[in-house]
Amino acid sequence: MKNPFDILEQNALNFKLTPISFREIFFIAETPCDIYAQVDGLLKVILHKKAEINTQLLKELLQKKMANLFVMQDDRTLLRFAQQENLTNVTRSLSIGDPLEKARLQTNLLTLNMGYLYEDPTDDNVLNLQVQSAKNLATFLFNKPQIHEDLYKEYIRQGHHYIFAQPFLSTLFLLGVMKNSRMYIDKDIELFFLTSYFKDIGMSAIPVEKFNDKDLTDEDKNLLASHPTLSVNILKGRVPLPPNHLKIIENHHIYSTLTNQMNLSSKDDPNNIFGFETMMISVMDTVAAMTTDRPFRKAESLYKSLDLIRLLIGEQYPQEFKLIVFYFKNFFKTL
């Protein structure tokens, strides 16, 4: 028979603790607070404050099926600050050390911070850190095309939830195609990198359970289809993107089956950038989505993805389609 005091203590803990992702204890040398997990049906401290974290420890926790972790609600920010300090330090030292390893660490930390941004998209400090880190990454990856394919493979292996991974994957593809086109200077590519990377931040206003649901109602589809507008509302006046680029975000689902927008012909608004840039951001988003797993489906092949892109843009943008095929053929041979 359980001690009634133990039951009361456990009940009290249930109100004081908040869940965290197992990934949130990656990349830090020691815990900034006590970490809890369920042990024999009871919530217990499994890592005390300042406990050392290493690869072996993480493996042992997974082997013991202790991936569902908790911290005291008041300590949640300590964990977040520790990871954000990591992101800041890595961002400042991207050019030092092995390029692939630094890019791998930077992209993982950026994705973790993207999760924090989704929790509170109104937090200017989190957004500013994300913007500055993404800008540095854009410049770094622009100058290191030789690591793109390996970085893609490493990133996919990390298994991030697609809602946080999709922005980076589509933006990595966009960066490669734009660099190959030789049509843009570094500053232009940086702006398009940010445009693509933050285009889906409006998804933060949508209930998380909708992301994994295959059978969506018409109301759900309309909600999901509204995220480009929500993204603009969140970003406007807070990020260094000109009005033209915010228009691209607003229209980045031009080929969406949710909105049935299938053309780029509307040019009445002088602030709209329709054409290559909007089309390319939309297309890279489509390829990234199709070639990665979702909770409700398996990934499609690159060949099938490009075949769909051919149907969508091949007639209107034949040279641009050739550029896309050339990019994937030369930089993602084993995708």
Q: Which pLDDT tens digit goes with each residue over 98-134?
A: 999 999 999 999 999 999 999 999 999 999 999 999 9
- Count of Cβ atoms closer than 10 Å to residue 67 Cβ: 12
145 part of a folded domain: yes
Q: Are residues 144 and 52 in the same domain?
A: no
58 part of a folded domain: yes
Q: Give the sheet arrangement for strand 17-20, strand by strand.
A: 17-20, 69-72, 35-39, 42-47
% pLDDT > 90, the chain = 61
Q: Are residues 102 and 250 in the same domain?
A: yes
Q: Are residues 32 and 164 in the same domain?
A: no
177-212 pLDDT, tens per residue?
Answer: 999 888 888 889 999 999 999 999 999 988 777 777
At 305 the three-state DSSP class reads helix
Whole-angstrom distance, CA of residue 40 vs CA of residue 58: 19
Q: Quick check: 74 pLDDT over 70?
A: yes
Number of domain units in the chain: 2
* Domain boundary residue, one of 76, 105, 131: 76
Q: Are residues 103 and 71 in the same domain?
A: no
Q: Dig out the tokens for 255 from the structure.
A: 């080929």
* Domain boundary residue, one of 49, 76, 103: 76
Whole-angstrom distance, CA of residue 197 vs CA of residue 167: 5
Q: What is the mean pLDDT of residues 283-305?
A: 89
87 part of a folded domain: no
233-244 pLDDT, tens per residue?
Answer: 999 999 999 999
Higher pLDDT, 114 or 6: 114
Q: Which domain holds residue 180?
A: 93-331
Q: Are residues 178 and 104 in the same domain?
A: yes
Q: Are residues 184 and 282 in the same domain?
A: yes
Find tokens 């689902």 and name the residue: 253
